Chains A and B, each alone.
Chain A
Amino acid sequence: MTTTSPVEKAGGATATYVDQRIGSNKFLSRNLGKVFPDHWSFMLGEIALYSFIVVLLTGVFLTLWFKPSMAEVVYDGSYVPLKGITMSQAYQSTLDISFDVRGGLLLRQMHHWGALIFIAAMAVHMFRVFFTGAFRKPREFNWLIGVVLTTLGLLAGFSGYSLPDDLLSGTGLQIARGIVQAIPVVGTWAAFLLFDGEFPGTEFISRLYGVHILLIPGLILALVTVHLMLVWTQKHTQFPGPGRTNDNVVGYPLLPIYMAKAGGFFFVVFGIIALVGGLVTINPIWIFGPFTPDQVSAGSQPDWYIGFLDGALRIMPNWETVIFGWTISWNIFIPALIMPGVLFTALGLYPFIEAWVTGDKREHNILDRPRNAPVRTGLGMMAISFYVMLWIGGANDIIATAFDLSINSITLFLRAAIFIVPPIVFIVTRRTCLGLQRRDREKLLHGYESGRILRLPHGEFIEVHQPLSQKDLAVITSKVDHEPLPAPDKADADGVRNKKYRSQSLRHKLSVFFYGANVPKPSAAEIEAGQHHAAHSAEIEAPLHDYEDADEFRRAHGGVLHHPGMAETNIEQQAEEHSGH
């Protein structure tokens, strides 16, 4: 029994005091020893969470100095090049934060870098969840919450980016206004209501401010809380490995290991954001100057996460129709509103679509290896390549300048590539996954190729195969062979027409597409035999190196050298030689 310090005594007394009132020890007893599985990719969501906390913290400090007003003032701060210039109070106070408040620039840059990292971490976290199938039952709600969080992250970023009222962000707002105006029927009125009249007006920054510092972060905070509570109650998924099943969690307990690792990682993320904020300039608004609606600089780029929308706007053909005197701007409406709407809706619905196609109603706590779900992995890569094409579109002027290309050619290329590249990426990814499945099967049947070549006494060269390690074996055999849904009958045995034939038939075909090409896992007996052979093959190596033992080896093995995969030909060869004598 360890000694108890006075601090611990006080802590214990406090715990009892609290427990008598809210029953907290029941919670602690269940959760202090809660086991979390370990994997580097599980830290991606943590990065998102921690950078969000840093952004909240720095944001609170920024509100102390920032003035969300478009009222005009004459600058008289310490940044000499802008002295005497008329500008909005929002821009002036951002300059003050950057030049006259000590540590203000650091907070501003941490806030901006933190936001970029927050959104990037959410995106990569989402990739991890998608490609490992972590969104499957029972975690569909958390996937949906994640999709909403990502959308809110984009809005939070854009609304914050627009607040300083510098030339670059003002141009962003001008574009946003143009997009709102392109909404059929209500667009013009919506734009007038949002901006209190025409662009830019005098109200928009203060309205956006409330959205940026209260509405969006409040929603994000609420959803993040639910997201984490669900992770907590459902317990984290785990990658396959020795001792890991669908019914357990293998990892480290919350206290002390996760407390130290995850808690420590918060400080690491915080520290890195502070270092980057101190060392790397971001959004130097003093260079852009105050906003005026009739000026713009060439090479204007939004923050990275808006790039795909900007790119979609750039590569869209210039379609516009006028019907009965009403104008529909397809050239804006499709890329800026329909495309992201469809993209995020498809993202949100994916778990439900996949579950319908596969008919899979089981709970999944062991993650899929991406190769074992080739169609899902292919679709994910296809979506990413689509996004990347748009992103390239968003930088078409930069690419044209940097590589001395025609901007028109890049745009024309992308108009075609957006439809051609994603399907190619899908096919290549799916094929690659199937190839990796075949390799896994080989490994199970014959062990892994050790890279060591042996020359046998009769002159033949073989490569030594070795049995898989316990971990590899557990990981590779985690693959579950799913059967596609059966083909439906047009009518039942009594000749009654199957009314659901069409939908069932479609589902059957999709399910065959999803699972059909998978390489089946060998049976347990085959795996056992394969690994045994591999072990055998590995054994023969040592004696041959030591030539003196060669005779003994031959005696022990009856002069026959087995090599998995070649074993039969070898034996046949030996048999022929014997018969020849």
Chain B
Amino acid sequence: MTDITPQEGHDQGHGSAPAKLGYSPVADIPHKPRLTDTDPKAARRAERQVATMFLLSMLLIVLFVVAYVTIDPSSTVYIPVFGDVGASNFALGLTMGGAVFLIGAGAIQWAKKLMPDVEVVQQRHDMQSPRRATAEAAANYERGKEESGFARFTLIRRTLIGALVLFPIPLVVVLRDLWTASPAEAGKSPADLLSETLWTKGSRIVSDGTYLPVKPADLPVGGLVSAVPADLQEVEEAEGNLNARTKAAIILVRMDPEEIRSQQGEGWDYQGILAYSKICTHVGCPIALYEQRTHHLLCPCHQSTFDLADSGNVVFGPAARRMPQLQIGVDEEGYLVAMNDFQEPVGPSFWERG
């Protein structure tokens, strides 16, 4: 008995009849006693099992702390089945997981073996409120309506509704500045920005990664090079983001000029070297899976396939638009350059694209 004696005057039936538990045993259900119910030895064994699990849990917590302090996080260890694993992570996971698991396993074993396993029954009650309560609520509502005059004061009611409808507007309006145009973006709409890239007439094409200009001779027939405009590094430094790269990334492929069936503009290649956007026109994944033999370019994300020997047209998959082609040539030093910006927006479609 715990001391929960209530204040005097509230003491009803305390100490006389036992308190009701709110449930009763289910009649009529066959119940087979467990071994732990009939054999005291089995019950003691179960008790020991439970205590052992709790003990082991404590031990594992100690081991966790030991592992945390002693194991160098960068060391690896070979564990059969798992291979080479990080020693610290392995030890910490094993000790913590084991310790926590054993607390649970012990508690469940305790419940299953030593606590009563006889099912009991409790009555449900209707979810619906008694009629009286509903009537009271309705009466209160009527009183409120009458006292406030909500039904009578039409003008008040309508203006209130109007005010409540307008009240969220500021919360929406302030979201406008989620995008504030940078100086470079000033005066341009989203559609304008999506329609232009860094490429202009005479932009030198440099290979991505090394940023070295590319000569036609660097590219063998069948080869593919990922490339960007020469001024990309500078722009990225100035803007501090990767936005320009997302639109300007291109691939250069070289094929036998005889194999080029069509292009997006006459003579847009240079001696069989074709430049296409690297950004898929479906949802914008970068593409570089190129099959030399068929000249097909496959997007690794959703498998849109483009035929680079045939204007970059879609031959399979969910993309609706061809890969935009960049017109290229060489400058006076013999390096590959763009002859213009793309003639259509690169990347995924958008509403204003047309």
Query: Quick check: B246 and A268 within 8 Å, CB to CB?
Result: no
One of A191, A266, A276, A277 near B104 (C-beta < 8 A): A266
Chain B contributes a number of interface residues (CB within 8 A of A) equal to: 109
What sequence of 0s and 1s flags, for each residue 310-354 of chain B, a beta carbon within 8 Å of any chain A beta carbon? 000010111111000000000000000000000000011111111
Interface centre among B101, B103, B119, B321 (most CB of A within 10 A): B119
Please tell me which stretch of B140-148, B149-157, B256-264, B297-305 contacts chain A, meaning at least 4 of its Cβ atoms lie within 8 angstroms of it. B297-305
B217 within 8 A of A: no
> In the assembly, what is the distance between CA of A341 and CA of B114, in Å?
50
Is B29 interfacial (CB 8 A cutoff)? yes
B127 adjacent to A192 (CB under 8 Å): no
Contact with A along B256-277 (1 / 0, CB 8 A): 0000000000000000000000
Contact B320 A249 (CB under 8 A): no
Q: Are B73 and A100 in contact (CB under 8 A)?
A: yes
Q: Is A486 part of the binding interface, using a Cβ–Cβ cutoff of 8 Å? A: no
Query: In whole Å, how far is A94's beta carbon from the nearest beta carbon of chain B?
Result: 15
**Chain A nearest CB: distance from B305 CB in Å?**
8
A276 to B98, CA, bound (A): 11
Q: Tell whether A242 is near chain B: CB-to-CB under 8 Å.
A: yes
B93 touches A106 (CB 8 A): yes
Q: Are A270 and B127 in contact (CB under 8 A)?
A: no
B181 A177 Cβ-Cβ under 8 A: no
Which residues of A (192-231) have their CB < 8 Å from a CB of B? 192-202
Complex: A15 Cα to B126 Cα, angstroms: 30
Tell me whether A579 is interfacial, beta carbon within 8 Å.
Answer: no
Q: In whole angstroms, how far apart are the Cα atoms of A215 and B93 in the complex?
A: 30
Q: Is A458 an interface residue (CB 8 A)?
A: no
Contacts of A294 in B (CB 8 A): 208, 226, 228, 245-246, 249, 278-279, 286
Taking the closest CB of chain A, its distance from the CB of B297, in whole angstroms, is 13
Indicate whether B97 reaches chain A with its CB closer than 8 angstroms: yes
The residues in B between 1 and 56 inclusive whose CB is less than 8 angstroms from any CB of A are 1-7, 19, 21-23, 26-30
Which residue, of B99, B126, B190, has the highest number of chain A Cβ atoms within 10 A?
B190
Residues of A within 8 A of B73 (CB): 78, 99-102
Contact (Cβ within 8 A) A271 B3: no
Residues of A contacting B68 in the complex (Cβ-Cβ under 8 angstroms): 102-103
Partner of B120, one of A250, A295, A332, A363: A250
Q: Which residues of B contact A246 (CB under 8 A)?
A: 124
Please tell me if B179 contacts chain A, counting CB pairs below 8 Å: yes
Give min CB distance, A399 to chain B, whole Å.
12
What sequence of 0s and 1s flags, for each residue 109-152 of chain B, a beta carbon within 8 Å of any chain A beta carbon?
01110011101111110110000000000000000000000000
Q: How far is the CA of A171 from the CA of B3 in the complex (A)?
A: 63
- Provide the residues of chain A in CB contact with B193, threshold 8 Å: 192, 197-198
A247 to B347, CA, bound (A): 61
Chain B residue at smallest Cβ distance from A176? B283
User: How many whole Å from B316's CB to the nearest CB in chain A?
Assistant: 6
Q: Is the CB of A331 within 8 A of B284?
A: no
Contact among B28, B119, B194, B283 for A332, CB-based, below 8 A: B283
- A16-B6, A332-B348 known; A242-B29 Cβ under 8 A: yes
> Are A264 and B243 within 8 A (Cβ)?
no
Which B residues lie within 8 Å of A38 (CB)? 119
Give A8 to B4 CA distance when docked, in angstroms: 10
Give CA–CA (A332, B97) in the complex, Å. 43
Stretch at the interface among A126-134, A254-262, A446-454, A488-496: A254-262
Question: B93 is contacted by which of A29, A202, A249, A278 (Cβ under 8 Å)?
Answer: A278
B185 to chain A, nearest CB (A): 6
CB contact list, B152-184 vs A, under 8 A: 175-176, 178-182
CA distance A300 to B82 in the complex (A): 23
CA distance A424 to B289 in the complex (A): 37
Which chain A residues (321-375) contact chain B, with CB distance < 8 Å? Answer: 322, 325-329, 331-332, 335, 363, 365
Inter-chain contact A293/B194, CB cutoff 8 Å: no
Q: Which residue of B is nearest A20, CB measured? A: B7
A106 touching B285 by the CB < 8 A rule? Answer: no
A293 to B286, CA, bound (A): 7
Range, interface on chain A? 35 or more
For B102, list chain A residues within 8 Å (CB).
271
Once A274-B96, A274-B97 are accepted as A-B contacts, the answer to whether A260 and B115 lie under 8 Å apart by CB is: yes
Taken together as a complex, chains A and B put the C-alpha atoms of A242 and B82 apart, in Å, by 48
A2, A13, A252, A363: most-surrounded residue (chain B CB, <10 A): A252
Q: Which residue of B lies closest to A294 (CB)?
A: B249
**By the criterion CB–CB under 8 Å, are B301 and A192 in contact?**
no
Q: Which residues of A contact B107 (CB under 8 A)?
A: 260-261, 263-264, 267
* A86-122 vs B, Cβ < 8 Å mask (1 yes, 0 no): 0000000000000111110110011000000000000
User: Taking A260-B108, A271-B97, A293-B246 as contacts, is the C-beta distance between A197 and B179 under 8 angstroms?
Assistant: yes
- A202–chain B nearest beta-carbon distance, Å: 5
Query: How distant is A575 from chain B, measured CB to nearest CB, in Å?
Result: 41
A12 touching B303, Cβ below 8 Å: no
Contact of A314 among B97, B194, B318, B353 (CB under 8 A): B318
B229 interface residue per 8 A CB criterion: no
Do B185 and A275 touch across chains, with their CB atoms under 8 A apart? no
Check A35–B300 contact: CB distance below 8 A: no
Q: Which residues of the other chain, B, contact A138 by a CB distance below 8 angstroms?
A: 127
What's the least CB distance linking B23 to chain A, in Å? Answer: 5
Question: What is the distance, in angstroms, from B114's C-beta to the closest C-beta of chain A?
Answer: 9
- Complex: A333 Cα to B204 Cα, angstroms: 37
**With A33-B21, A192-B179, A317-B318 in contact, do A178 and B283 touch (Cβ < 8 Å)?**
yes
Question: Which chain B positions have C-beta within 8 A of A252?
Answer: 117, 119-120
Q: Which of B2, B29, B115 is the one whose CB lies under 8 Å from A12?
A: B2
Indicate the member of A243, A270, A331 with the most B CB atoms within 10 Å: A331
Closest chain B CB from A184 CB (angstroms): 6
B88 is an interface residue with CB less than 8 A from chain A: yes
Q: Does the CB pair A196–B93 fall under 8 Å?
A: no
Chain B residues near A523 (CB, 8 Å)? none
User: Which A residues from 180 to 198 make CB contacts under 8 A with B?
Assistant: 181-189, 191-198
In the assembled complex, B92 has its CB within 8 A of some CB on chain A: yes
Residues of B within 8 A of A249 (CB): 121-124
* A293 and B105 within 8 A (CB): no
Contact A202 B283 (CB under 8 A): no
Q: Does A201 lie within 8 Å of B243, measured CB to CB? A: yes
In the complex, B62 has a CB within 8 A of chain A: no
- Whether, in the assembled complex, B282 has its beta carbon less than 8 Å from a beta carbon of chain A, the answer is yes
A417 within 8 A of partner (CB): no
Instruction: Indicate if the CB atoms of B98 and A316 lie closer than 8 Å.
Output: no
Is A503 in contact with chain B by the CB < 8 A criterion?
no
Tell which of A4, A195, A470 touches B30, judged by Cβ atoms closer than 8 Å. A470
Other-chain contact of A278, B96, B111, B117, B127 (Cβ < 8 Å): B96
A-B contact pairs, 10 of them (CB 8 A): A4-B2, A71-B240, A110-B93, A193-B179, A197-B179, A242-B30, A243-B121, A250-B120, A274-B101, A278-B92
- Can you list the 10 inter-chain pairs with the closest CB atoms, starting with the nearest? A278-B93, A271-B101, A178-B283, A264-B107, A267-B104, A12-B2, A275-B97, A274-B97, A320-B320, A268-B104
A residues contacting B by CB (< 8 A) are 1-2, 4, 8-9, 11-13, 15-16, 19-20, 25, 29-30, 33-35, 38, 70-72, 78, 99-103, 105-106, 109-110, 138, 171, 174-175, 177-179, 181-189, 191-202, 233-235, 242-243, 246-253, 256-257, 260-261, 263-279, 281, 292-300, 310, 313-320, 322, 325-329, 331-332, 335, 363, 365, 396-397, 407-408, 411, 470
A174-B284, A294-B246, A411-B316 given. 10 additional CB < 8 A pairs? A35-B122, A110-B93, A235-B122, A251-B119, A256-B115, A260-B115, A261-B108, A265-B108, A408-B316, A411-B317
